[in-house]
Amino acid sequence: MAKFIFVTGGVVSSLGKGISASSLARLMKSRGLAVTCLKCDPYINVDPGTMNPYQHGEVFVTDDGAETDLDLGHYERFLNTDMHHINNITAGQVYDTVIRKERHGDFLGATVQVIPHITDEIKNRFRLVAKGQDIVIVEVGGTVGDIESLPFLEAARQMGIEAGKDNTLYIHVTLVPYIKASEELKTKPTQHSVGKLREIGINPDIIICRADRPISPELRAKISLFCSVHKEAVVDAPDVSSIYEVPLLFQRQGLDEQVLMLLRHRGRGKDLDPWIGVVERMRRATGEVHIALAGKYTEIKDAYKSVHEALVHGGILNDVKVHIRYLDVSSQDADKGLEGVHGILVPGGFGDRGIEGKIQVIRRAREEGIPFLGLCLGLQLAVIEFSRNVLKLQGANSTEFDPRTRYPVIDLLPEQKTVSELGATMRLGSYPCSLKKGSLAAKAYGAASVSERHRHRYEVNNKFRKLLDEGGLQVTGVNPAKNLAEIVELKGHPWFMAVQFHPEFKSRPEAPHPLFTDFIAASLRRAGAAGKEAHAR
């Protein structure tokens, strides 16, 4: 039977609970255990697909086409395994299922209630994920004390009784703030938060303390005493320069030993070397490249989480540090910030804000030979830019932004034109893509066919394919079943590629995505050329 580790958060949100859960998961994997993660989101939305990035950050897409919380991206990146729709549950899904069952008559005679009906449904979903696993790490979204997360915490408490002490573990991630005036770290918020958790019936076994600096042994002793956990079970989690250092930070404090001891499991060996190898290679990186990420949510970094991480991974095999400059494309002169960048990336997006700014940036990349990678909307805009400025199709556009354009170079497929419900109806999840022999993409992947994840409604309009091709913007990757353009490349440019899918979702530190690696390599060449030029001057 699988053992369950519940990770809760205290005091404030955004403490990096997802990173803590993922890091612990990676440590458990290093002990030879089959481990997976599950994120519980207490909101009523069925999934985050229709939420604004300001509300939610990035929507992470799984192979099986689920639109999920961005923490699943962390789980995939740290564990180097695929998550599925069952790895993210929301209050909306749980209530939806229970209400459908009620209408079907499954609870005939009963009053349907949060306890036991909602909590039973939550536990069913915990158990579903546990199949074939040694350990399931369940991260409960929100902060202890929120009304919304109560059913999930109650289900977690009940699991403790049902599965037994040796099979359940509770970890509380909490804030230990530094108070400038008194020049000390304060434990009171942690004490209160643990008190709150106890009211719900959960005694944490381990406390992970997030602070902006290391905590002293005295403070650790104090937290141990007041929160009633072993001193070794108080884990210090100060800010670190790279999230990928966190598993090492935890291991140094013996978190894996602690967890295995409490769960009465010996583990099956111990090998964190592959992870350590990657982290050390990142640390040793000598070169530097500057990449512009031209998006419209630049003030909230979570909106481009996977893109950011994939760019960082792109530096690993090139032994360079990747500096990412967020360009706000909704401002006038969006391309002003391109000074000194070695590569330009235009990420995915929806809606027309910032479109013209992105097009302006793509034009600079095309005309000045700056390495360019377009993702999803980034591809659609590269096609629009090329149609307008090279093919001279004045006013060319996507029907998403101009339904009456004379040149709908990006358009909906007939099946999308009849869609009336917006939730979960895009082209979602993994689709195969055949690569043109000898193309930049085929070389980067080292394959003839690949599978990548999608999340979009609009497609390149095949009526314009021939024109684009003759002009020099060539389709080098297609969806074989539907003959849809999946990749375009610009002839005669040092490195210009745009893809209709989202390669960023499949990049991991232990397996960086080949397109990002190749894009960073091209950017590095540009950086080298720029360096030489400056030297000659």
How far is CA 391 from its chain centroid? Answer: 37
Is the Cβ of residue 229 or residue 310 nearer to ligand GLN in the bound state?
310
| E strand segments, 34-95 | 35-41, 60-61, 67-68, 88-90
Report the alpha-carbon distance of residue 430 to residue 424 in Å, rounded: 14
Q: Which of 348, 354, 357, 512 binds ligand GLN (CB under 6 A)?
A: 348
Task: Spell out the SS3 assignment of 359-403.
Answer: HHHHHHHHHHCCCEEEECHHHHHHHHHHHHHCCCCCCCEECCCCC
Q: Are 41 and 90 in contact (CB under 8 A)?
A: yes
Our finding on whether 504 is near ligand GLN (CB under 6 A) is no
Catalytic residue among 58, 121, 489, 504: 504
- Least distance between ligand GLN and beta carbon 41 (Å): 21
Our finding on whether 458 is near ligand GLN (CB under 6 A) is yes
Is the Cβ of residue 151 or residue 349 nearer to ligand GLN in the bound state?
349
- Least distance between ligand GLN and beta carbon 244 (Å): 26
Planar angle of CA 156, 159, 165, nearest 5 degrees: 110
Report the alpha-carbon distance of residue 262 to residue 296 in Å, rounded: 46
Our finding on whether 362 is near ligand GLN (CB under 6 A) is no
Check if 183 is active-site.
no
Q: Are 160 and 166 in contact (CB under 8 A)?
A: no
Three-state DSSP class for residue 424 = coil
The stretch near ligand GLN (CB under 6 A) out of 115-123, 163-171, 249-257, 452-460 is 452-460
For residue 415 the two structure tokens come to 């099946």
Our finding on whether 296 is near ligand GLN (CB under 6 A) is no
- Least distance between ligand GLN and beta carbon 451 (Å): 17
Is the Cβ of residue 459 or residue 518 nearer to ligand GLN in the bound state?
459
Our finding on whether 350 is near ligand GLN (CB under 6 A) is yes
Task: Spell out the SS3 assignment of 429-454.
Answer: EEEEEEECCCCHHHHHHCCCEEEEEE
The stretch near ligand GLN (CB under 6 A) out of 26-34, 201-209, 363-371, 456-464 is 456-464
Q: Strands 178-179 and 184-185, how do they pair?
A: antiparallel
- Least distance between ligand GLN and beta carbon 176 (Å): 38
Radius of gyration of the chain (CA): 25
Per-residue CA distances from 523 to 246, 251, 289, 336, 366 (Å): 29, 35, 7, 19, 14
Q: Binding residues for ligand GLN, how many (CB under 6 A)? A: 10
Our finding on whether 305 is near ligand GLN (CB under 6 A) is no
The stretch near ligand GLN (CB under 6 A) out of 124-132, 215-223, 329-337, 345-353 is 345-353
Q: Are 293 and 311 in contact (CB under 8 A)?
A: yes
Name which of residues 167 to 226 contact ligand GLN (CB under 6 A). Answer: none
Our finding on whether 455 is near ligand GLN (CB under 6 A) is yes
- Least distance between ligand GLN and beta carbon 458 (Å): 3
Our finding on whether 50 is near ligand GLN (CB under 6 A) is no
- Least distance between ligand GLN and beta carbon 221 (Å): 50
Check if 502 is active-site.
yes
Residue with nearest beta carbon to ligand GLN: 348
| E strand segments, 128-205 | 135-140, 168-175, 178-179, 184-185
Residue spans of alpha helices (H) in 176-234 = 188-199, 217-227
The stretch near ligand GLN (CB under 6 A) out of 221-229, 248-256, 344-352, 474-482 is 344-352
Is the Cβ of residue 10 or residue 429 nearer to ligand GLN in the bound state?
429
| E strand segments, 444-510 | 449-456, 458-460, 473-479, 484-490, 496-499
Our finding on whether 496 is near ligand GLN (CB under 6 A) is no
Our finding on whether 457 is near ligand GLN (CB under 6 A) is yes
Distance linking the first and last C-alpha atoms of the chain = 68
Report the alpha-carbon distance of residue 235 to residue 255 in Å, rounded: 7
Q: Which of 314, 343, 349, 514 binds ligand GLN (CB under 6 A)?
A: 349
Q: Which of 155, 294, 376, 393 binds ligand GLN (CB under 6 A)?
A: 376
Check if 535 is active-site.
no
Q: Catalytic residues, which ones?
A: 376, 502, 504
Q: Which residues bind ligand GLN (CB under 6 A)?
A: 348-350, 376-377, 400, 455-458
